[in-house]
Amino acid sequence: MTTHQAHCLILSYPVQGHINPMLQFSKRLQSKRVKITIALTKSFLKNMKELPTSISIEAISDGYDDGGFHQAGTFVAYITRFKEVGSDTLSQLIQKLANSGCPVNCIVYDPFLPWAVEVAKNFGLISAAFFTQNCAVDNIYYHVHKGVIKLPPTQNDEEVFIPGFSSTIEASDVPTFVINPEGERILEMLVNQFSNLDKVDWVLINSFYELEREVIDWMSKIYPIKTIGPTIPSMYLDKRLHDDKEYGLSIFKPMTNECLNWLNHQPISSVLYVSFGSLAIVKAEQMEELAWGLMNSNKNFLWVVRSTEESKLPKNFLEELTIEKGLVVSWCPQLQVLEHESIGCFLTHCGWNSTLEAISLGVPMVAMPQWTDQPTNAKFVKDVWEIGVRAKQDEKGIVRREVIEECIKLVMEEEKGKLIRENAKKWKEMARNVVDEGGSSDKNIEEFVSKLVKCKS
Ligand code: UDP
């Protein structure tokens, strides 16, 4: 028996920062009666102890079923083989779902894997690219693709003109792969996201209109753009999804009780939360400066140091640290932490998920971007949304402890930081409104769903 329900196949690049926004978007679609199947690589699934129970997940192959990216050794090897093997196994999955009586009618794919468009076309399916980064970052890669941005610049403070932005930005605000020749092969892939984007039916962006009006209006003249974020669980925003317990997928295990018990004993807005996400590798010298910057600050802190980074902590730091002053954990339930009333500031690498989560939960930031799109996100946090400061690096590329201390003080207690703290509260309200009924992202999701349903009937 064939059903007439719209059915989306979601294909993500297999890292948690890409999968989780697509998972949250899937939950929104599912709440609007769209059937969802998420395709994940066998190598990624192997490391997952727990999988969502409310959404159907199927395995495909990236050609490296034992170790995924690590087995491939290089980024180029991984992407190349994923294209060859992934196209076949994705096609087999589409066939299998058709045979099972619930055929797919749309592929929502991660543009890191642009070959998915060809697969969609072969089967006559609707295709939608899902950009996990914000529109400003996508706009920069688009203009590198078009050859408009001529980089690398010679100096970090060189002004770069980018169509779609109201003013020039400094070279140090541009994603690192664009300005650093070592990132050339990765940049090739990022630019390749646009290679066949003119063939897709929709371009979905993990952001919201009010956050990036200008650049979204500009990009919308080129592509059929729809913003659908923020993609964080509804329980933290509009609370409209009933089955919304699932937090997301991660290979790390959060130290939930330790963190929440400790936070429960802290006064309101008194704690600094510090995390550099799931991937960033911080220089040992930077780690040392950060450690003493936190210790010397007059704030208590919760610091996530992944186990692979732990050896970089200064020798006597953990010995000197008292439980009253700070807690260092290997992983935490970040959304629960950011939502906690004791949190007054987030010192962050400005990964886009972390930035969107801080915006959605109204937490002002000290930005310490490390690589990839993080400098651009930090630029917007500081200068456009005015919800944080950016800790300045010295000529060696290190943020010194005194600078860290000053930034924390400014955001958390000084009069100068008042506007930042107020703005953070305003954006929180806005983030909730856009996904709530009739909000800009909710309307876009509704429009997407009606198109899917119309094509199905
Ligand atoms: N995160 C978490 N616990 C932690 C640190 C991070 O759950 O202790 C989550 C965080 O909520 C975010 C993701 O990991 O959803 C990090 O994504 P982001 O895009 O900020 O950075 P990336 O890890 O991709 O560099």
**What is the chain's pLDDT, residue by residue, as a tens digit (457 residues)?**
455 689 999 999 999 999 999 999 999 999 999 999 999 999 999 988 788 888 999 999 999 999 999 999 888 899 999 999 999 999 999 999 999 999 999 999 999 999 999 999 999 999 999 999 999 999 999 999 999 887 666 666 788 889 999 999 998 999 998 888 667 778 888 999 999 999 999 999 999 999 999 999 999 999 999 999 999 999 999 999 986 766 688 889 999 999 999 999 999 999 999 999 999 999 999 999 999 999 999 999 999 999 999 999 999 999 999 999 999 999 999 999 999 999 999 999 999 999 999 999 999 999 999 999 999 999 999 999 999 999 999 999 999 999 999 999 999 999 999 999 999 999 999 999 999 999 999 999 999 999 998 887 6
List, edge to edge, every strand of the sheet that includes 271-275: 326-329, 300-304, 271-275, 343-348, 365-367, 388-390
The alpha carbon of 229 and the centre of ligand 1 are apart by a number of angstroms equal to: 16
Ligand 1 cavity residues, CB under 6 Å: 17, 20, 254, 275, 277-280, 304, 331-332, 334-335, 351-354, 357
Q: What is the DSSP string of 221-289?
A: TTS-EEE----S-GGGTT---SS-------SSPP-HHHHHHHHHTS-TT-EEEEE-TTT----HHHHHH
| Cβ contacts of 383 within 8 Å, gap of 6 or more | none
Residue with CA at minimum distance from ligand 1 atom 24: 17
- Quickly count: other Cβ atoms within 10 Å of residue 386's Cβ: 17
CA distances from 390 to 156, 337, 365 (A): 15, 22, 8
Contact 270, 299 (CB under 8 A): yes
Is residue 340 among the annotated active site residues? no
pLDDT of residue 4: 64
pLDDT of residue 155: 66
Helix boundaries (H) for 73-134? 75-99, 116-122
Is residue 143 among the annotated active site residues? no
Residue type, 324: E
The alpha carbon of 251 and the centre of ligand 1 are apart by a number of angstroms equal to: 11
Residue of 7, 62, 66, 110 marked active site: 110
What is the rounded distance in angstroms from the CA atom of residue 165 to the CA atom of residue 178?
A: 17
Return the closest-CA partner of residue 216 out of 139, 115, 285, 274.
Answer: 139
What is the rounded distance in angstroms from the CA atom of residue 54 to the CA atom of residue 16?
A: 18
DSSP assigned state of 381: I
Rounded to two decimals, what is the model's pTM? 0.96
Return the closest-CA partner of residue 249 out of 41, 449, 31.
Answer: 41
What is the rounded distance in angstroms from the CA atom of residue 9 to the CA atom of residue 202?
A: 14
What ipTM score was computed for the predicted complex, to two decimals? 0.99
* β-bridge pairing 169-170 and 159-160: antiparallel
